[in-house]
């Protein structure tokens, strides 16, 4: 005799929230934009904690490290991985600290540093609020 399974519970699936998907896509896009901006400005020396990384070694460091962080964080957010949450929080704290020190030690203009100092804490609050949606 065959069992009627039409009344059984459907399998539980975890759906990745749209905001995490959008965040992931935006981070991947940010990585691509980073590469474009850095390649168009071969003399750019990004200040890190008030110091400018010297020469081509500093330029290659920026070209490799910053887009890589964006790509990895974006990939993790697209899949809602728990490690992606920390991959967002730790670099964001680093960026806030670096922007604060650079703002105190470097000459103006400080438009970008001020924007970072105003927006990144809001981003951290948002991440904390959405933390439970980053799964293993």
The confidence score (pLDDT) of residue 58 equals 80
Residue 28: its pLDDT value, please?
95
Given a cut of 70, the residues of the chain with pLDDT beneath it are 1-14, 136
pLDDT of 72 reads: 94
CA dist 94 and 52 (Å) reads: 16
Beta bridge partners of 47: 52
Cα–Cα distances (Å) from 122 to 27, 32, 116, 133, in that order, read 17, 24, 10, 18
CB 134 within 8 A of CB 79: no
Q: How far is CA 29 from the centre of its chain?
A: 11
Q: What is the pLDDT of residue 61?
A: 81
What's the pLDDT at 115?
92
């Amino acid at each position: 005799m065959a069992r009627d399974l039409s009344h059984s519970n459907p399998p539980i699936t975890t759906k990745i929230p749209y905001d995490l998907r959008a965040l992931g896509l935006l981070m991947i896009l940010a990585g691509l934009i980073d590469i474009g901006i850095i390649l168009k400005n071969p003399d750019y020396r990004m200040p890190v904690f008030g110091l400018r990384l010297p020469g081509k070694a500093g330029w290659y460091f920026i070209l490799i490290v910053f887009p890589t962080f964006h790509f990895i964080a974006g990939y993790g957010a697209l899949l809602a991985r728990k490690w992606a949450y920390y991959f967002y929080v730790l670099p964001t704290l680093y960026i806030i600290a670096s922007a604060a020190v650079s703002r105190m030690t470097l000459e103006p203009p400080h438009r970008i540093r001020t924007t970072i100092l105003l927006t990144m804490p809001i981003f951290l609050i948002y991440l904390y609020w959405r933390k439970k949606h980053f799964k293993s």
